[in-house]
Structure 1
Amino acid sequence: MTEAGASIVVTVKNEGKNLRELLESIEKNDFTNFETVVVDDLSTDDTEDIVKSYRFTVYKRIACSRGEGRNIGVDLSRYGYILFTDGDAKVSEHWISGMVSALAAGNDAVIGNTLYTGKRRYMQERVKIFLEGIEVTAPSVNLAYRKDRFRQLGGFDPKFVTAEDIDLNIRAVKAGFRFATCDSCVVYAKVRENLASFLRQAYWNGYGRYQLEMKHPGITRNTRVRLGHNFFDFLHMVSGAAGYLSARISEGKQGR
Protein backbone atom coordinates (compact mmCIF):
# COMPACT_ATOMS: atom_id res chain seq x y z
CA MET A 1 0.00 0.00 0.00
CA THR A 2 1.33 3.43 -0.95
CA GLU A 3 1.96 5.73 2.02
CA ALA A 4 0.53 9.24 2.25
CA GLY A 5 3.23 11.80 1.57
CA ALA A 6 5.33 13.31 -1.20
CA SER A 7 8.17 11.81 -3.22
CA ILE A 8 10.29 14.40 -5.01
CA VAL A 9 11.92 12.89 -8.11
CA VAL A 10 15.03 14.47 -9.63
CA THR A 11 17.23 13.26 -12.49
CA VAL A 12 20.76 14.63 -12.59
CA LYS A 13 24.08 14.44 -14.38
CA ASN A 14 27.06 16.33 -12.96
CA GLU A 15 24.92 18.76 -10.96
CA GLY A 16 27.19 18.77 -7.92
CA LYS A 17 27.62 22.54 -8.01
CA ASN A 18 23.84 23.05 -7.86
CA LEU A 19 22.51 20.12 -5.83
CA ARG A 20 23.18 21.51 -2.36
CA GLU A 21 21.07 24.58 -3.08
CA LEU A 22 18.19 22.38 -4.27
CA LEU A 23 18.38 19.91 -1.38
CA GLU A 24 18.70 22.66 1.22
CA SER A 25 15.66 24.43 -0.21
CA ILE A 26 13.72 21.16 -0.01
CA GLU A 27 14.88 20.61 3.58
CA LYS A 28 13.55 24.05 4.57
CA ASN A 29 10.02 23.23 3.39
CA ASP A 30 7.16 23.28 5.89
CA PHE A 31 6.04 19.77 4.85
CA THR A 32 7.60 16.90 6.80
CA ASN A 33 6.43 13.60 5.28
CA PHE A 34 8.56 13.49 2.14
CA GLU A 35 11.59 11.94 0.47
CA THR A 36 13.79 13.01 -2.42
CA VAL A 37 14.67 10.34 -4.99
CA VAL A 38 17.73 11.31 -7.03
CA VAL A 39 18.46 9.28 -10.16
CA ASP A 40 21.99 9.96 -11.35
CA ASP A 41 22.96 9.40 -14.99
CA LEU A 42 26.54 8.33 -14.17
CA SER A 43 27.86 11.67 -12.92
CA THR A 44 31.63 12.07 -12.69
CA ASP A 45 31.58 14.87 -10.10
CA ASP A 46 30.66 14.79 -6.38
CA THR A 47 26.93 14.32 -6.98
CA GLU A 48 26.73 11.00 -5.13
CA ASP A 49 28.52 12.27 -2.01
CA ILE A 50 26.32 15.35 -1.85
CA VAL A 51 23.07 13.41 -2.20
CA LYS A 52 24.03 10.83 0.41
CA SER A 53 24.90 13.54 2.93
CA TYR A 54 21.19 14.35 3.33
CA ARG A 55 19.00 12.09 5.46
CA PHE A 56 15.86 12.43 3.31
CA THR A 57 17.34 11.20 0.02
CA VAL A 58 17.23 7.97 -1.97
CA TYR A 59 20.06 7.61 -4.49
CA LYS A 60 20.21 5.52 -7.66
CA ARG A 61 23.10 5.59 -10.12
CA ILE A 62 22.24 4.27 -13.59
CA ALA A 63 22.69 5.20 -17.25
CA CYS A 64 19.42 6.77 -18.37
CA SER A 65 17.70 9.51 -20.32
CA ARG A 66 15.73 12.13 -18.39
CA GLY A 67 12.45 10.35 -19.01
CA GLU A 68 13.87 6.96 -18.08
CA GLY A 69 15.41 8.44 -14.95
CA ARG A 70 12.13 9.92 -13.81
CA ASN A 71 10.34 6.63 -14.40
CA ILE A 72 12.98 4.87 -12.32
CA GLY A 73 12.57 7.49 -9.61
CA VAL A 74 8.83 6.90 -9.48
CA ASP A 75 9.41 3.15 -9.25
CA LEU A 76 11.72 3.72 -6.28
CA SER A 77 9.36 6.14 -4.54
CA ARG A 78 7.32 5.21 -1.47
CA TYR A 79 4.66 7.94 -1.47
CA GLY A 80 1.53 8.49 -3.52
CA TYR A 81 2.18 12.07 -4.62
CA ILE A 82 5.06 12.57 -7.08
CA LEU A 83 6.69 15.99 -7.44
CA PHE A 84 9.19 16.53 -10.25
CA THR A 85 11.95 19.13 -10.31
CA ASP A 86 15.51 19.53 -11.64
CA GLY A 87 18.95 19.34 -10.09
CA ASP A 88 19.79 22.97 -10.83
CA ALA A 89 16.55 24.38 -9.41
CA LYS A 90 15.53 25.81 -6.04
CA VAL A 91 12.08 25.36 -4.49
CA SER A 92 10.13 27.78 -2.30
CA GLU A 93 9.46 26.87 1.32
CA HIS A 94 5.76 26.09 0.76
CA TRP A 95 6.27 24.25 -2.52
CA ILE A 96 5.74 20.70 -1.27
CA SER A 97 2.69 21.50 0.86
CA GLY A 98 1.12 23.54 -1.94
CA MET A 99 1.54 20.82 -4.57
CA VAL A 100 0.35 18.11 -2.17
CA SER A 101 -2.72 20.14 -1.18
CA ALA A 102 -3.67 20.60 -4.83
CA LEU A 103 -3.35 16.87 -5.51
CA ALA A 104 -5.23 15.97 -2.33
CA ALA A 105 -8.09 18.19 -3.49
CA GLY A 106 -8.87 15.64 -6.20
CA ASN A 107 -6.59 16.74 -9.02
CA ASP A 108 -4.53 14.26 -11.01
CA ALA A 109 -1.75 16.67 -11.97
CA VAL A 110 -0.56 20.08 -10.79
CA ILE A 111 1.40 22.73 -12.67
CA GLY A 112 3.49 24.98 -10.44
CA ASN A 113 4.81 28.49 -11.00
CA THR A 114 8.30 28.49 -12.53
CA LEU A 115 10.45 31.62 -12.31
CA TYR A 116 13.73 31.81 -14.21
CA THR A 117 16.97 33.24 -12.87
CA GLY A 118 20.35 33.92 -14.46
CA LYS A 119 21.70 35.91 -17.37
CA ARG A 120 18.91 37.76 -19.11
CA ARG A 121 20.38 37.30 -22.58
CA TYR A 122 19.85 33.54 -22.23
CA MET A 123 16.24 33.84 -21.11
CA GLN A 124 13.83 32.79 -23.85
CA GLU A 125 10.08 33.09 -23.72
CA ARG A 126 8.61 29.58 -23.72
CA VAL A 127 6.53 28.72 -26.78
CA LYS A 128 3.32 27.59 -25.09
CA ILE A 129 1.01 24.89 -26.43
CA PHE A 130 -2.51 24.57 -25.05
CA LEU A 131 -4.74 21.52 -25.33
CA GLU A 132 -8.30 21.76 -24.05
CA GLY A 133 -7.29 24.87 -22.11
CA ILE A 134 -4.32 23.20 -20.39
CA GLU A 135 -0.77 24.39 -21.03
CA VAL A 136 0.86 21.10 -21.94
CA THR A 137 4.26 22.78 -22.28
CA ALA A 138 4.40 23.23 -18.49
CA PRO A 139 7.91 21.92 -17.67
CA SER A 140 8.77 19.06 -15.34
CA VAL A 141 10.98 21.35 -13.26
CA ASN A 142 7.73 22.17 -11.43
CA LEU A 143 5.15 19.47 -12.06
CA ALA A 144 3.29 16.96 -9.87
CA TYR A 145 1.25 13.83 -10.56
CA ARG A 146 -0.60 11.31 -8.45
CA LYS A 147 1.48 8.15 -8.69
CA ASP A 148 -1.42 5.88 -9.63
CA ARG A 149 -2.49 8.16 -12.47
CA PHE A 150 1.10 8.61 -13.65
CA ARG A 151 1.42 4.85 -13.92
CA GLN A 152 -1.86 4.60 -15.82
CA LEU A 153 -0.21 6.72 -18.51
CA GLY A 154 2.83 4.44 -18.59
CA GLY A 155 5.11 7.20 -17.34
CA PHE A 156 7.46 9.22 -19.53
CA ASP A 157 8.17 7.97 -23.04
CA PRO A 158 11.87 6.94 -22.95
CA LYS A 159 12.21 7.43 -26.72
CA PHE A 160 12.02 11.21 -26.33
CA VAL A 161 15.39 12.95 -26.29
CA THR A 162 13.70 16.00 -24.79
CA ALA A 163 10.10 17.30 -24.52
CA GLU A 164 9.19 14.11 -22.68
CA ASP A 165 7.30 16.23 -20.15
CA ILE A 166 5.20 17.85 -22.89
CA ASP A 167 4.36 14.43 -24.31
CA LEU A 168 3.32 13.21 -20.84
CA ASN A 169 1.05 16.22 -20.33
CA ILE A 170 -0.53 15.79 -23.76
CA ARG A 171 -1.36 12.16 -23.01
CA ALA A 172 -2.74 13.12 -19.61
CA VAL A 173 -5.07 15.74 -21.09
CA LYS A 174 -6.25 13.32 -23.78
CA ALA A 175 -6.91 10.72 -21.04
CA GLY A 176 -9.17 13.18 -19.22
CA PHE A 177 -6.88 13.92 -16.28
CA ARG A 178 -7.90 16.76 -14.01
CA PHE A 179 -5.24 19.49 -13.96
CA ALA A 180 -4.76 22.34 -11.50
CA THR A 181 -2.32 25.24 -11.34
CA CYS A 182 -0.65 26.45 -8.16
CA ASP A 183 0.71 29.99 -8.46
CA SER A 184 2.13 29.89 -4.93
CA CYS A 185 4.09 26.69 -5.68
CA VAL A 186 7.22 28.47 -6.86
CA VAL A 187 10.36 26.88 -8.26
CA TYR A 188 13.34 28.99 -9.32
CA ALA A 189 14.97 27.48 -12.41
CA LYS A 190 18.32 28.56 -13.81
CA VAL A 191 18.76 29.46 -17.45
CA ARG A 192 21.87 28.27 -19.28
CA GLU A 193 25.13 29.82 -18.09
CA ASN A 194 27.01 30.22 -21.37
CA LEU A 195 26.49 30.40 -25.11
CA ALA A 196 27.44 26.78 -25.80
CA SER A 197 24.89 25.34 -23.35
CA PHE A 198 22.29 27.87 -24.53
CA LEU A 199 22.65 26.71 -28.15
CA ARG A 200 22.77 23.06 -27.14
CA GLN A 201 19.47 23.44 -25.28
CA ALA A 202 17.89 25.16 -28.30
CA TYR A 203 19.10 22.35 -30.57
CA TRP A 204 17.50 19.64 -28.43
CA ASN A 205 14.33 21.68 -28.05
CA GLY A 206 14.07 21.66 -31.83
CA TYR A 207 14.72 17.92 -31.88
CA GLY A 208 11.98 17.37 -29.32
CA ARG A 209 9.53 19.50 -31.27
CA TYR A 210 9.89 17.16 -34.24
CA GLN A 211 9.34 14.10 -32.03
CA LEU A 212 6.20 15.72 -30.63
CA GLU A 213 4.82 16.42 -34.09
CA MET A 214 5.40 12.83 -35.17
CA LYS A 215 3.67 11.36 -32.11
CA HIS A 216 0.93 13.99 -31.84
CA PRO A 217 0.22 15.26 -35.38
CA GLY A 218 -1.01 18.84 -35.44
CA ILE A 219 -0.10 19.58 -31.81
CA THR A 220 2.12 22.53 -32.77
CA ARG A 221 -0.19 23.81 -35.49
CA ASN A 222 -1.40 26.80 -33.50
CA THR A 223 2.05 27.89 -32.40
CA ARG A 224 4.26 30.15 -34.43
CA VAL A 225 7.96 30.67 -34.67
CA ARG A 226 8.84 33.77 -32.71
CA LEU A 227 11.09 36.03 -34.72
CA GLY A 228 13.66 37.23 -32.21
CA HIS A 229 14.36 40.78 -31.22
CA ASN A 230 18.10 40.38 -30.71
CA PHE A 231 21.11 38.35 -31.78
CA PHE A 232 20.61 35.69 -29.09
CA ASP A 233 17.02 35.16 -30.20
CA PHE A 234 18.29 34.64 -33.74
CA LEU A 235 20.94 32.14 -32.62
CA HIS A 236 18.35 30.28 -30.57
CA MET A 237 16.03 30.03 -33.58
CA VAL A 238 18.80 28.80 -35.90
CA SER A 239 20.03 26.19 -33.42
CA GLY A 240 16.47 24.98 -32.83
CA ALA A 241 15.91 24.66 -36.57
CA ALA A 242 19.11 22.60 -36.84
CA GLY A 243 17.83 20.27 -34.12
CA TYR A 244 14.47 19.91 -35.85
CA LEU A 245 16.16 19.05 -39.15
CA SER A 246 18.51 16.60 -37.45
CA ALA A 247 15.56 14.81 -35.83
CA ARG A 248 13.74 14.66 -39.13
CA ILE A 249 16.73 12.99 -40.77
CA SER A 250 17.50 10.67 -37.85
CA GLU A 251 13.92 9.62 -37.11
CA GLY A 252 13.28 9.18 -40.83
CA LYS A 253 16.16 6.72 -41.13
CA GLN A 254 14.91 4.74 -38.13
CA GLY A 255 11.44 4.54 -39.64
CA ARG A 256 12.66 2.93 -42.86
Structure 2
Amino acid sequence: MISVVIPSYNSEKTIARCLLSLKTQTLDEEYEIIVADSSHDRTPQIIRERFPEVQLIHFEKKTDPGSARNAGVKLSKGEIICFIDSDCEAAPDWLDQLVSVHRHYAYEAIGGAVENGNEQDNNVAWAGYMAEFREFLPQYPPGEREHIPTCNISYKRQVFEKLGGFNPRYYPQEDLEFNYRLRQSGGKIFFIPSAKIYHNHRSELHSFLRHQKRVGQITARMLRILPLEGSAIARSRLLATMAAPLLPAVKWWRTVHVFRRWRADVIRNHSGALFILALGLIPWGVGFLKGAWEAGDV
Protein backbone atom coordinates (compact mmCIF):
# COMPACT_ATOMS: atom_id res chain seq x y z
CA MET A 1 0.00 0.00 0.00
CA ILE A 2 1.17 3.50 -0.92
CA SER A 3 -0.20 6.59 0.80
CA VAL A 4 -0.44 10.09 -0.67
CA VAL A 5 -0.93 12.85 1.91
CA ILE A 6 -1.99 16.40 0.97
CA PRO A 7 -2.24 19.34 3.39
CA SER A 8 -4.85 21.88 2.34
CA TYR A 9 -6.03 25.36 3.26
CA ASN A 10 -8.60 27.27 1.16
CA SER A 11 -7.72 25.25 -1.94
CA GLU A 12 -11.03 25.38 -3.81
CA LYS A 13 -9.34 26.74 -6.96
CA THR A 14 -6.72 23.98 -7.21
CA ILE A 15 -7.80 20.90 -5.23
CA ALA A 16 -9.86 19.31 -8.02
CA ARG A 17 -6.98 19.39 -10.51
CA CYS A 18 -4.61 18.06 -7.87
CA LEU A 19 -6.87 15.11 -7.03
CA LEU A 20 -7.69 14.37 -10.68
CA SER A 21 -3.97 14.11 -11.40
CA LEU A 22 -3.62 11.63 -8.56
CA LYS A 23 -6.62 9.52 -9.56
CA THR A 24 -5.14 8.85 -12.99
CA GLN A 25 -1.70 7.64 -11.91
CA THR A 26 -0.11 4.77 -13.84
CA LEU A 27 1.04 3.00 -10.65
CA ASP A 28 0.04 -0.67 -10.83
CA GLU A 29 -0.56 -1.23 -7.13
CA GLU A 30 -2.98 -0.03 -4.50
CA TYR A 31 -2.67 3.50 -3.19
CA GLU A 32 -4.75 5.77 -1.00
CA ILE A 33 -5.22 9.55 -1.04
CA ILE A 34 -5.63 11.53 2.18
CA VAL A 35 -6.36 15.27 2.39
CA ALA A 36 -5.77 16.99 5.74
CA ASP A 37 -7.76 20.19 5.32
CA SER A 38 -8.49 23.28 7.42
CA SER A 39 -10.26 25.33 4.75
CA HIS A 40 -13.10 27.78 5.22
CA ASP A 41 -14.00 27.79 1.53
CA ARG A 42 -15.60 25.07 -0.64
CA THR A 43 -12.62 22.70 -0.54
CA PRO A 44 -14.24 20.07 1.76
CA GLN A 45 -17.45 20.19 -0.28
CA ILE A 46 -15.58 19.68 -3.55
CA ILE A 47 -13.76 16.66 -2.11
CA ARG A 48 -16.90 15.06 -0.66
CA GLU A 49 -18.97 15.58 -3.82
CA ARG A 50 -16.42 14.85 -6.54
CA PHE A 51 -13.90 12.60 -4.82
CA PRO A 52 -15.76 10.45 -2.28
CA GLU A 53 -12.99 7.83 -2.35
CA VAL A 54 -10.51 10.36 -0.91
CA GLN A 55 -10.08 10.25 2.86
CA LEU A 56 -10.76 13.71 4.26
CA ILE A 57 -9.58 15.03 7.60
CA HIS A 58 -11.10 18.42 8.35
CA PHE A 59 -9.87 20.77 11.06
CA GLU A 60 -12.11 23.58 12.26
CA LYS A 61 -9.18 25.97 12.74
CA LYS A 62 -6.38 26.79 10.33
CA THR A 63 -3.68 24.14 10.69
CA ASP A 64 -0.06 24.46 9.64
CA PRO A 65 1.04 22.09 6.83
CA GLY A 66 3.43 20.09 9.03
CA SER A 67 0.73 19.27 11.57
CA ALA A 68 -1.71 18.48 8.76
CA ARG A 69 0.77 16.12 7.15
CA ASN A 70 1.43 14.42 10.49
CA ALA A 71 -2.31 13.86 10.93
CA GLY A 72 -2.56 12.41 7.43
CA VAL A 73 0.33 10.02 8.05
CA LYS A 74 -1.27 8.88 11.31
CA LEU A 75 -4.43 7.91 9.42
CA SER A 76 -2.55 6.34 6.50
CA LYS A 77 -1.70 2.67 5.98
CA GLY A 78 1.09 2.78 3.41
CA GLU A 79 4.66 1.66 3.95
CA ILE A 80 5.69 4.52 1.64
CA ILE A 81 4.32 8.01 2.31
CA CYS A 82 4.23 10.44 -0.62
CA PHE A 83 3.64 14.15 -0.15
CA ILE A 84 2.28 16.68 -2.62
CA ASP A 85 0.65 20.08 -2.06
CA SER A 86 -2.92 21.08 -2.87
CA ASP A 87 -1.73 23.70 -5.38
CA CYS A 88 0.21 21.11 -7.38
CA GLU A 89 -0.60 18.55 -10.05
CA ALA A 90 1.29 15.29 -10.46
CA ALA A 91 2.58 13.93 -13.75
CA PRO A 92 0.79 10.66 -14.66
CA ASP A 93 3.77 8.50 -13.69
CA TRP A 94 4.71 10.49 -10.56
CA LEU A 95 3.91 7.70 -8.09
CA ASP A 96 5.34 5.05 -10.38
CA GLN A 97 8.68 6.87 -10.49
CA LEU A 98 8.91 7.39 -6.73
CA VAL A 99 7.79 3.91 -5.75
CA SER A 100 10.07 2.21 -8.28
CA VAL A 101 13.15 3.83 -6.74
CA HIS A 102 11.95 2.97 -3.23
CA ARG A 103 11.51 -0.68 -4.28
CA HIS A 104 15.00 -0.97 -5.73
CA TYR A 105 17.11 1.20 -3.44
CA ALA A 106 17.47 1.76 0.29
CA TYR A 107 17.09 5.53 0.34
CA GLU A 108 15.03 6.83 3.24
CA ALA A 109 13.58 9.69 1.19
CA ILE A 110 13.04 10.13 -2.54
CA GLY A 111 11.77 13.27 -4.22
CA GLY A 112 11.38 14.71 -7.65
CA ALA A 113 11.42 17.79 -9.84
CA VAL A 114 9.15 20.82 -9.92
CA GLU A 115 7.74 22.41 -13.07
CA ASN A 116 5.87 25.69 -13.33
CA GLY A 117 2.17 24.88 -13.44
CA ASN A 118 0.87 28.38 -14.23
CA GLU A 119 -0.09 29.85 -17.57
CA GLN A 120 3.01 30.25 -19.66
CA ASP A 121 2.65 34.02 -20.20
CA ASN A 122 2.50 34.98 -16.51
CA ASN A 123 5.87 36.50 -15.65
CA VAL A 124 5.00 36.91 -11.96
CA ALA A 125 4.48 33.16 -11.69
CA TRP A 126 7.72 32.51 -13.55
CA ALA A 127 9.54 34.81 -11.12
CA GLY A 128 8.07 32.82 -8.23
CA TYR A 129 9.16 29.57 -9.85
CA MET A 130 12.69 30.87 -10.37
CA ALA A 131 12.90 32.20 -6.81
CA GLU A 132 11.78 28.98 -5.10
CA PHE A 133 12.61 25.97 -7.25
CA ARG A 134 15.89 26.61 -9.06
CA GLU A 135 17.42 23.61 -7.24
CA PHE A 136 14.71 21.17 -8.38
CA LEU A 137 14.57 21.55 -12.15
CA PRO A 138 13.68 18.48 -14.26
CA GLN A 139 16.86 18.99 -16.28
CA TYR A 140 19.12 18.15 -13.33
CA PRO A 141 20.69 14.67 -13.19
CA PRO A 142 19.54 12.25 -10.48
CA GLY A 143 21.58 12.11 -7.31
CA GLU A 144 21.68 12.53 -3.54
CA ARG A 145 20.48 15.82 -2.09
CA GLU A 146 20.46 17.56 1.26
CA HIS A 147 16.85 18.65 0.86
CA ILE A 148 13.79 18.28 -1.37
CA PRO A 149 10.58 20.21 -0.50
CA THR A 150 7.40 18.49 0.65
CA CYS A 151 5.50 19.41 -2.50
CA ASN A 152 7.31 16.45 -4.09
CA ILE A 153 8.93 14.01 -1.69
CA SER A 154 8.30 10.54 -0.26
CA TYR A 155 9.54 8.74 2.84
CA LYS A 156 9.67 5.18 4.06
CA ARG A 157 7.08 5.07 6.79
CA GLN A 158 9.30 3.53 9.45
CA VAL A 159 11.84 6.34 9.01
CA PHE A 160 9.21 9.07 9.16
CA GLU A 161 7.70 7.66 12.34
CA LYS A 162 11.09 7.03 13.94
CA LEU A 163 12.00 10.70 13.55
CA GLY A 164 8.66 11.82 14.96
CA GLY A 165 7.30 13.54 11.87
CA PHE A 166 7.38 17.26 11.15
CA ASN A 167 7.91 19.73 13.98
CA PRO A 168 5.35 22.57 13.58
CA ARG A 169 7.67 24.85 15.54
CA TYR A 170 9.66 25.32 12.32
CA TYR A 171 6.71 26.18 10.06
CA PRO A 172 6.83 26.96 7.17
CA GLN A 173 10.21 25.27 6.70
CA GLU A 174 9.46 22.26 8.85
CA ASP A 175 10.42 20.07 5.89
CA LEU A 176 13.91 21.60 5.80
CA GLU A 177 14.35 20.90 9.52
CA PHE A 178 12.98 17.35 9.18
CA ASN A 179 15.30 16.54 6.28
CA TYR A 180 18.23 17.90 8.29
CA ARG A 181 17.34 15.54 11.15
CA LEU A 182 16.99 12.69 8.68
CA ARG A 183 20.48 13.26 7.32
CA GLN A 184 21.92 13.71 10.80
CA SER A 185 20.51 10.29 11.70
CA GLY A 186 22.38 8.73 8.77
CA GLY A 187 19.51 8.80 6.27
CA LYS A 188 19.89 9.76 2.61
CA ILE A 189 17.66 11.74 0.25
CA PHE A 190 17.63 10.92 -3.45
CA PHE A 191 16.50 13.24 -6.25
CA ILE A 192 14.86 11.67 -9.31
CA PRO A 193 14.01 14.34 -11.92
CA SER A 194 11.57 12.10 -13.80
CA ALA A 195 9.13 12.22 -10.85
CA LYS A 196 7.57 15.56 -11.76
CA ILE A 197 4.91 17.76 -10.26
CA TYR A 198 3.52 21.06 -11.55
CA HIS A 199 3.36 23.83 -8.96
CA ASN A 200 0.95 26.76 -9.22
CA HIS A 201 2.54 30.00 -8.05
CA ARG A 202 1.28 33.41 -7.00
CA SER A 203 0.27 35.27 -10.14
CA GLU A 204 -0.27 38.79 -8.75
CA LEU A 205 2.66 41.10 -8.09
CA HIS A 206 1.63 42.35 -4.65
CA SER A 207 1.12 38.80 -3.41
CA PHE A 208 4.49 37.72 -4.81
CA LEU A 209 6.30 40.65 -3.15
CA ARG A 210 4.64 40.03 0.20
CA HIS A 211 5.49 36.34 0.03
CA GLN A 212 9.14 37.04 -0.78
CA LYS A 213 9.52 39.21 2.31
CA ARG A 214 8.13 36.38 4.42
CA VAL A 215 10.43 33.85 2.74
CA GLY A 216 13.46 36.02 3.47
CA GLN A 217 12.50 36.34 7.12
CA ILE A 218 11.92 32.61 7.51
CA THR A 219 15.18 31.81 5.69
CA ALA A 220 17.13 33.85 8.23
CA ARG A 221 15.29 32.19 11.12
CA MET A 222 16.13 28.72 9.87
CA LEU A 223 19.75 29.58 9.16
CA ARG A 224 20.06 30.68 12.75
CA ILE A 225 19.03 27.16 13.77
CA LEU A 226 20.58 24.89 11.14
CA PRO A 227 24.28 24.96 10.15
CA LEU A 228 23.71 25.48 6.43
CA GLU A 229 25.21 27.86 3.87
CA GLY A 230 24.62 31.42 5.08
CA SER A 231 24.26 30.51 8.75
CA ALA A 232 27.20 32.69 9.81
CA ILE A 233 25.50 35.73 8.28
CA ALA A 234 22.07 35.01 9.74
CA ARG A 235 23.50 34.43 13.22
CA SER A 236 25.20 37.82 13.43
CA ARG A 237 23.31 41.11 13.40
CA LEU A 238 26.42 42.90 12.21
CA LEU A 239 27.11 40.54 9.33
CA ALA A 240 23.44 40.45 8.36
CA THR A 241 23.26 44.25 8.29
CA MET A 242 26.40 44.49 6.19
CA ALA A 243 25.34 41.72 3.79
CA ALA A 244 21.66 42.65 3.44
CA PRO A 245 22.17 45.12 0.55
CA LEU A 246 24.23 42.56 -1.39
CA LEU A 247 22.28 39.35 -0.75
CA PRO A 248 19.43 40.09 -3.22
CA ALA A 249 21.95 40.73 -6.01
CA VAL A 250 23.87 37.55 -5.20
CA LYS A 251 20.69 35.50 -5.08
CA TRP A 252 19.47 37.01 -8.38
CA TRP A 253 22.78 36.28 -10.13
CA ARG A 254 22.91 32.70 -8.85
CA THR A 255 19.36 32.09 -10.01
CA VAL A 256 19.96 33.53 -13.47
CA HIS A 257 23.16 31.51 -13.78
CA VAL A 258 21.31 28.27 -12.97
CA PHE A 259 18.55 28.98 -15.49
CA ARG A 260 21.01 29.99 -18.19
CA ARG A 261 22.69 26.62 -17.82
CA TRP A 262 19.71 24.32 -17.30
CA ARG A 263 16.61 26.20 -18.55
CA ALA A 264 17.78 28.73 -21.10
CA ASP A 265 14.30 28.70 -22.63
CA VAL A 266 12.95 30.45 -19.54
CA ILE A 267 15.52 33.23 -19.90
CA ARG A 268 14.72 33.61 -23.61
CA ASN A 269 10.95 33.50 -23.35
CA HIS A 270 10.30 35.21 -20.01
CA SER A 271 12.81 38.03 -19.73
CA GLY A 272 10.20 40.10 -17.88
CA ALA A 273 10.32 37.54 -15.07
CA LEU A 274 13.97 38.45 -14.45
CA PHE A 275 12.99 42.02 -13.62
CA ILE A 276 10.14 40.86 -11.38
CA LEU A 277 12.50 38.43 -9.66
CA ALA A 278 14.95 41.26 -8.97
CA LEU A 279 12.10 43.37 -7.64
CA GLY A 280 10.94 40.54 -5.38
CA LEU A 281 14.39 40.00 -3.93
CA ILE A 282 14.37 43.49 -2.42
CA PRO A 283 11.62 42.60 0.11
CA TRP A 284 13.32 39.21 0.46
CA GLY A 285 16.45 41.01 1.67
CA VAL A 286 14.39 43.17 4.04
CA GLY A 287 12.77 40.04 5.44
CA PHE A 288 16.14 38.32 5.82
CA LEU A 289 17.50 41.24 7.83
CA LYS A 290 14.40 41.27 10.01
CA GLY A 291 14.73 37.55 10.68
CA ALA A 292 18.41 37.93 11.57
CA TRP A 293 17.66 40.70 14.06
CA GLU A 294 14.73 38.99 15.79
CA ALA A 295 16.67 37.27 18.56
CA GLY A 296 20.10 38.88 18.51
CA ASP A 297 23.47 37.31 17.80
CA VAL A 298 23.94 33.58 18.37
The residue that corresponds to 1:212 in the other structure is 222
Please give the alpha-carbon distance, in whole angstroms, between the structure 1 residues aligned to 2:88 and 2:202: 12
Dislocated runs of 4+, deviation >4 Å = 221-224
CA contact (8 A) 1:102 1:180 kept: no
Report what 2:252 is aligned to: 227
Deviation at 1:8, TM superposition (A): 0.8
Cα distance 1:192–1:137, how it changes in 2: closer, same or farther (>3 A)?
Answer: farther
Residue type of the alignment partner of 1:33: E
Question: 2: distance between equivalents of 1:135 and 1:23?
Answer: 28
Q: 1:15 aligns with which of 11, 26, 29?
A: 11
User: Could you say which residue in structure 2 is the equivalent of 1:50?
Assistant: 46
Q: What is the aligned counterpart of 1:122 among 104, 114, 125?
A: 125
Give the number of the structure whose alpha-carbon radius of gyration is greater: 2
Q: TM-score, normalised by structure 1?
A: 0.85
Aligned to 2:159: 149
Structure 1 residue identity aligned to 2:123: R
Tell me the SS of whatever aligns to 1:16. Answer: coil
8 Å CA contact 2:110–2:153 kept in 1: the answer is yes
Give 5+ residue unaligned stretches, structure 1.
Answer: none
Report if aligned partners of 1:160, 1:208 keep a CA contact under 8 Å in 2: no
Cα distance in 1 for residues equivalent to 2:207 and 2:6: 20
Matched letter for residue 227 of structure 1: W
Matched, 1:95 2:120: no
Distance 1:248 1:111 in 2: 30
**Amino acid across the alignment from 2:202:** R
Which has the higher mean CA deviation after the structures are superposed, 15-24 or 135-144? 135-144
Q: How many percent of aligned residue pairs carry the same amino acid?
A: 24
Contact kept in structure 2, 1:109 and 1:179, CA below 8 Å: yes
Root mean square deviation, CA, Å: 2.6
- Letter of the structure 1 residue corresponding to residue 40 of structure 2: T
8 Å contact kept, 2:145–2:191: no
Deviations 1:151-210 (A, max 9, x none): 222211201232222222222122211322222211111121111221232122212212
Output the amino acid matched with 1:37.
I
User: After alignment, is 152-161 or 228-237 more displaced?
Assistant: 228-237
| Counterpart Cα distance in 1 of 2:287 and 2:144 | 26
Unaligned runs of 5+ in 2: 137-142, 234-246, 257-273
**CA deviation vs aligned residue, 1:213-256 (integer Å, no higher than 9, x gap):** 12213443599631367431232212222322343454x29x9x
**Residue 17 of structure 1: SS of its match in structure 2?**
coil
CA contact (8 A) 1:134 1:173 kept: no
**Structure (1 or 2) with the greater strand fraction:** 1
Q: Is the 8 A contact 1:9 1:37 kept in 2?
A: yes
Count of aligned residue pairs for this structure pair = 245
Cα distance change, pair 108–222 in 1 and its aligned pair in 2 (3 A): farther
Match of 2:284 in 1: 240
Which residue of structure 2 lines up, in the alignment, with residue 64 of structure 1? 63
CA contact (8 A) 1:90 1:187 kept: yes
Query: How much has 1:84 moved relative to structure 2?
Result: 0.5
Q: Partner letter of residue 286 of structure 2?
A: A
The answer to whether the 8 Å contact 1:114/1:186 transfers is: yes
> Structure 1 residues 56 and 6, CA, compared in 2 at 3 Å: closer, same or farther?
farther
CA–CA distance in structure 2, aligned partners of residues 35 and 192 of structure 1? 29
CA contact (8 A) 2:123 2:276 kept: no
> CA–CA distance in 2 between the matches of 1:27 and 1:154?
29
Is the CA contact 2:111–2:190 (under 8 Å) kept in the aligned structure 1?
A: yes
